[in-house]
Amino acid sequence: MTDAERTELEAAAFRRLVQHLRERTDVQNIDMMNLTGFCRNCLSRWYGEAAAEKGMDMGKEEAREIVYGMPYSEWRDRYQTEATDAQKATFTANPPQH
């Protein structure tokens, strides 16, 4: 496999992951953090960091919109629920390692 082919496959997998996350609005970020150690916000931050490494100027909100498919504030208002005490306790006990 060439580097270009690997990059194409990685990009396709990333696009599919983002589409899946856009469709699964029932999955809360805190649940993702508690189970996987990352969430949509992490993914958007990594996207923005990758852009910065390439010398591209991309703000936090622009990167979030790429991942969420809409402005983050709109997604939050539509789909985000208040974290339960159990979710918060799990998050506190197992903070992200990145």
pLDDT tens sequence across 8-42: 999 999 999 999 999 999 999 999 999 999 999 99
Domains of the chain: 3-82 (1.10.3340.10)
pTM, whole model, 2 decimals? 0.88
3-state helix, strand, coil in the chain (%, to 5): 70, 0, 30
pLDDT tens sequence across 31-86: 999 999 999 999 999 999 999 999 999 999 999 999 999 999 999 999 999 999 99
Closest-CA residue to 69 (of 16, 23, 14, 12)? 23
Determine the Cα–Cα distance for residues 69 and 40; give it in Å rounded to an integer: 11
